[in-house]
Chains A and B, each alone.
Chain A
């Protein structure tokens, strides 16, 4: 399988995972390891970035695993830029998952503020991965602004509803010149495999792993599903069979004409 390039990063695993909602940091660590992920996202608000002994960060100190700090909780571009700069300074990483959701209920991303913050962060030298609606036009604008990838949602975050935005994801994937990471809503390995089959470059999964009664096993299931979906995409799916169904042929008149 091909390697995924995002900004200056190369990933052999196309599964990114989240770190929230686990029953303990130990379990989270085991699940991250089982997922084979090389990029894990962590909410800045959950960790003390200035504390070397922060329990969550300690558990994420895993060889081969990169941290993807996210700005979850901020409501404006200004707040996001400020939080990203603090994260860069404290964690020593340029990469940032840009999340701006002024709506605390469904945590839906604010496209307008996200684009504004993305432009600013790119100027400041960040590798920006913005979490957005499955909006093809917005994704093109973000690409133009210089983001390293786009992360459109499959369905509302935490909903486990799968790829409800499928039609738009397909357009985004078709048009994008930067990697497309399907983020949010992926509730089962089959959803992840489907996203990979249609050509997504990676998926990000959190709730479906963390809330499963067996998170470690589920993490491995996602790992296999993502690999399988990617392999299928690279091998190219066979076309669907086309079968004429009309009871009386629609083109038989041609034969009469040709008589």
Chain B
């Protein structure tokens, strides 16, 4: 039994219809509850909830403060490789794009690490294209062994691995794995992911199951906003979250909201998503689940991030470079996408402080998971 068996019980079109049929009364009922069902979540992401955004934002702020306090956690991505065997139509690392592949050596990774430590980062996210041939589990084992005494928390966003491989990495200090489904629409999934291992919808979908079985501490979910109707994809993400929380109850979960950004290539989003929409998504998740971590990256512009930090979000990346070697001076390598908030971590931290929030640089230690 995996989430693949669960999701087969649902039909994309039927869910779409249900969401679009939600009424103001459904929204009001959801807003009046303390414990929301997935059905209430449908109401909150529906068009009928649009007039209630202010109320949703206020409730979301209150719930988030109660659970997480007036704090925002900081993390930073380190791109270690842009080599990829997939040809995702929306991504700069697409196999068919012509660019020189870069895979950082241990020395280069350590040079990047020094820069990031100087900025104050304690939570590190290692990111790579998906290529087991270039960056397999041995590569990440080696890098984590070199990094584990320098950062208090290490996460990865790389190709999906096997359960046993996740267990191996956990022994080297792996704490969190981010794996985005991109879209839960199985029939259209192949259009965006035509080749490579990532074209296998089911294998990707079952990755969080393997992570739960491997005992990884935290799992990050999300879909790429702009591919399919975000209302429907958000519903399936919430369904996935609910399934995982009940099955792998020792695992912590986080949701991200990557919106399509300009990249090397020509793909344009099929569905436009406004700032207003993104606020609705974030607040809807918070009202549905007051415990889940919500992360907002530098894909979003400064003004939006500065205003969202009280409204449900719990983690921010800052000062991100999306090209391998980008922190230690390599500006030539191909980036995955362009960031929208290019302020320095110190600058973003001071904006957060001005708003009466504390930046949490460290909320873990490697010795907590011996």
Residue of A nearest to B369 (CB): A79
Chain B: minimal CB distance from A220 (Å): 19
Q: How far is the CA of A47 from the CA of B250 in the complex (A)?
A: 23
Residues on the A chain within 8 Å of B252, using CB = 104-105
Of A104, A158, A211, which contacts B70 at CB under 8 A? Answer: A211
Q: Produce 1/0 per residue, B55-73, CB < 8 A to A.
A: 0000000000111111100
B residues at A contact (CB < 8 Å): 65-71, 152, 217-218, 245, 249-252, 291, 353, 356-358, 360, 362-365, 367-370
Are A24 and B358 touching (Cβ within 8 A)? yes
Q: How far is the CA of A159 from the CA of B35 in the complex (A)?
A: 13
A-B pairs, top 4 by smallest CB distance, nearest first, are A21-B69, A23-B70, A104-B252, A23-B356
Residue of B nearest to A159 (CB): B66
Stretch at the interface among A1-9, A34-42, A70-78, A247-255: A70-78
Residue of A nearest to B215 (CB): A75
Residue of A nearest to B293 (CB): A104
Residues on the B chain within 8 Å of A25, using CB = 358
- Given A21-B69, A23-B70, CB of A79 within 8 Å of CB of B362: no
Residue with the highest number of chain A CB atoms closer than 10 Å, among B65, B252, B367: B367
Are A48 and B362 touching (Cβ within 8 A)? yes
Q: How far is the CA of A35 from the CA of B31 in the complex (A)?
A: 35
Query: What secondary structure prevails in chain A residues at the interface with B?
Result: loop
Are A83 and B245 touching (Cβ within 8 A)? no
Residue of A nearest to B62 (CB): A211
Residue of B nearest to A86 (CB): B367
Q: Does any Cβ of B come within 8 Å of A236's Cβ?
A: no
Chain B: minimal CB distance from A86 (Å): 6
Chain A: minimal CB distance from B115 (Å): 19
Q: How far is the CA of A94 from the CA of B136 in the complex (A)?
A: 44
Q: How far is the CA of A78 from the CA of B370 in the complex (A)?
A: 8
Task: Give A48-79 interface residues, CB cut-off 8 Å to B.
Answer: 48, 73-75, 78-79
Are A75 and B370 touching (Cβ within 8 A)? no
- Given A25-B358, A104-B251, CB of A211 within 8 Å of CB of B69: yes
Are A79 and B368 touching (Cβ within 8 A)? yes
Residue with the highest number of chain A CB atoms closer than 10 Å, among B69, B71, B356, B360: B69
Q: Does any Cβ of B come within 8 Å of A44's Cβ?
A: yes
Task: Give A13-34 interface residues, CB cut-off 8 Å to B.
Answer: 20-25
Q: How far is the CA of A44 from the CA of B68 in the complex (A)?
A: 17
Q: How far is the CA of A159 from the CA of B357 in the complex (A)?
A: 21
A residues at B contact (CB < 8 Å): 20-25, 44-48, 73-75, 78-79, 82-83, 86, 102-106, 158-160, 207, 210-211
Are B358 and A44 touching (Cβ within 8 A)? no
Q: How far is the CA of A63 from the CA of B330 in the complex (A)?
A: 50
- Given A45-B363, A46-B362, A102-B250, CB of A23 within 8 Å of CB of B368: no
Are B70 and A73 touching (Cβ within 8 A)? no
Q: How far is the CA of A169 from the CA of B217 in the complex (A)?
A: 32
Are B368 and A106 touching (Cβ within 8 A)? no
Are B370 and A23 touching (Cβ within 8 A)? no
Of A21, A73, A160, A207, which contacts B364 at CB under 8 A? Answer: A73
Residues on the A chain within 8 Å of B66, using CB = 158-160, 207, 211
Q: How far is the CA of A44 from the CA of B369 in the complex (A)?
A: 13
Are A79 and B370 touching (Cβ within 8 A)? yes
Chain B: minimal CB distance from A29 (Å): 12
Residue of A nearest to B122 (CB): A48
Residues on the A chain within 8 Å of B251, using CB = 104
Q: How far is the CA of A103 from the CA of B253 in the complex (A)?
A: 11
11 A–B contacts, CB within 8 A, in A order:
A20-B71, A22-B358, A73-B364, A82-B370, A103-B249, A104-B218, A105-B249, A158-B66, A158-B67, A211-B66, A211-B69
Residues on the B chain within 8 Å of A210, using CB = 69-70
Residue of B nearest to A73 (CB): B368
Residues on the A chain within 8 Å of B362, using CB = 45-48
Are A45 and B249 touching (Cβ within 8 A)? no
Residue with the highest number of chain B CB atoms closer than 10 Å, among A105, A158, A159: A105
Q: How far is the CA of A132 from the CA of B365 in the complex (A)?
A: 23
Q: How far is the CA of A82 from the CA of B365 in the complex (A)?
A: 12
Q: How far is the CA of A48 from the CA of B252 in the complex (A)?
A: 22
Residue of A nearest to B70 (CB): A23
Chain B: minimal CB distance from A228 (Å): 25
Chain A: minimal CB distance from B42 (Å): 22
Q: How far is the CA of A83 from the CA of B245 in the complex (A)?
A: 26
Residues on the B chain within 8 Å of A21, using CB = 65, 68-71
Residues on the A chain within 8 Å of B69, using CB = 20-23, 207, 210-211
Besides A78-B370, A79-B370, A105-B245, 14 other A-B contacts (C-beta < 8 A) = A20-B71, A23-B69, A45-B152, A45-B362, A45-B364, A46-B360, A47-B362, A48-B152, A48-B362, A104-B218, A160-B66, A210-B69, A210-B70, A211-B66
Residues on the A chain within 8 Å of B152, using CB = 45, 48
Residues on the B chain within 8 Å of A78, using CB = 370
Residue with the highest number of chain B CB atoms closer than 10 Å, among A25, A44, A106, A211: A211
Residues on the A chain within 8 Å of B245, using CB = 105
Residues on the B chain within 8 Å of A79, using CB = 368-370
Residue with the highest number of chain A CB atoms closer than 10 Å, among B66, B358, B370: B358
